[in-house]
Amino acid sequence: MCWRFCREVVSRYSTDVRELGFTIEELISESLGLEKDHMRKVLGEQGQHMAVNYYPPCPEPELTYGLPAHTDPNALTILLQDATVCGLQILIDGQWFAVNPHPDAFVINIGDQFEVTDQIVKSIKMSSGVGL
């Protein structure tokens, strides 16, 4: 019955992460001086996508490739990194920086739907490599 247990765990995790996303939206709204539910009203009820990827370290990193530089099209990406694999990079002032995994922590990426025209909230450009 492992599949039933796994399904229950993933379902609960998905629900909890969705609630975390709503809380983050509220905090961003309030930090911009807006009503707590402003972002939810503007963005509407959005779907949720969950992916589980595993990128093992590569013994020959020069032979690896990852995703090209991009921004996420959604409002938020809540990422739980594997504590043993560093692959996420973000672009700051024209320079790429590794986002080192931290145990028991999420990485929150602001996506294109949150970016506002005055650049107060800016979508982060990122890429990922395998075995970095």
Number of helices (H), then strands (E), belonging to the chain: the values are 2, 6
Separation between Cα atoms, residue 97 and residue 111, nearest integer Å = 18
Q: Is the pTM of the predicted complex or chain greater than 0.85?
A: no
Provide the mean pLDDT of the chain.
83
Q: Which pLDDT score, from 0 to 100, does residue 129 have?
A: 61
Q: Binning pLDDT at 50, 70 and 90, where does residue 132 land?
A: very low
